[in-house]
Chain A
Amino acid sequence: MHAMSNPSCQQIVVVKNEKGLHLRPAELMARLAMQYEATVMVTKDDQSADCKNMLSVLTLGAVQGTQLGLSAEGPDAAEALSAVAELFEAGFHELDAE
């Protein structure tokens, strides 16, 4: 085993759902990110928000089609990143709702 390390990873995602990153997606993302130890940040231009903090995520005001950077750092960074990215890919499960 090597010494304690903090893996990190990143990826670009696109807001696919029509209504953008509104309250429900922000909540889903926060609840999901909280299941991981890693810190997951979402970035729009020069603004970054902690995925576990809804208030912070909502300040991005990301509409449909916005490209966002995702980055994760921590022992389970890869898993956390792929889980959050999957949520974006699924359009926060809104595509078939309503």
Chain B
Amino acid sequence: MKFADFICVKAIKPDLASYDKEAVVTELVESLVTAGEIKTADKDDIIAAVMKREELGSTGIGRGVAVPHTKHPSVEKLVGTVGVSVDGVDFNSLDGEKVQLFFLLISPPERPGDHLRALENISRQLRDDTFCRFLKQSKTVDDINQLLEEADNNQFAS
């Protein structure tokens, strides 16, 4: 699975304004609403579901990366977005580091395979130091989208 298969470019958020977990999740979900991927009526429910998942254990996977996610019946296919925080947000990550890169994923129920393939892609690409560093330094939607496209074309990880 490639980034282009699930990342909604219109919802990409460089320079996140939020400084805590719930605010970041809200900002990212609202961005998907603005982009037309999620209905306004489902927004609060989705935010609550993502936060509930965080209570089970942080989705901060280390290296300044978090993958907040949930399943929701309102989406027909996996949708996601990317957010970058310049200063980082405390996300209770396993390694204790602040999170600068967020990949929010909303999956339809009963599709665990797609979610797993998205996680596989994200983690494989982020293992590359250059990709990770460039993404954290990105300032615009175009910068981020270009990096994702380059990653999709295998210019980073093997």
Contacts and interface: CB of A to CB of B under 8 A. Distances in A.
Contact of B120 (A24, A27, A61): A61
Given A24-B57, A27-B57, A55-B62, A60 B127 contact: no
A59 B112 contact: no
Interface in B113-128: 113, 115-117, 119-120, 122-124, 126-127
Interface in A25-55: 26-28, 30-31, 53-55
Contact of A59 (B57, B59, B62, B120): B120
A59 B127 contact: yes
A54 B97 CA distance: 14
A27 B94 contact: yes
A40 to B, nearest CB: 16
Interface residues of A, number: 22
A90 interface: no
A61 B117 contact: yes
Given A24-B56, A58-B61, A31 B94 contact: yes
Contacts of A31: 94
A21 interface: yes
A52 to B, nearest CB: 9
Given A27-B57, A56-B123, 7 more contacts: A19-B112, A24-B56, A55-B62, A55-B126, A58-B123, A59-B124, A60-B120
Interface of B: 56-59, 61-63, 65, 67, 69, 94, 112-113, 115-117, 119-120, 122-124, 126-127
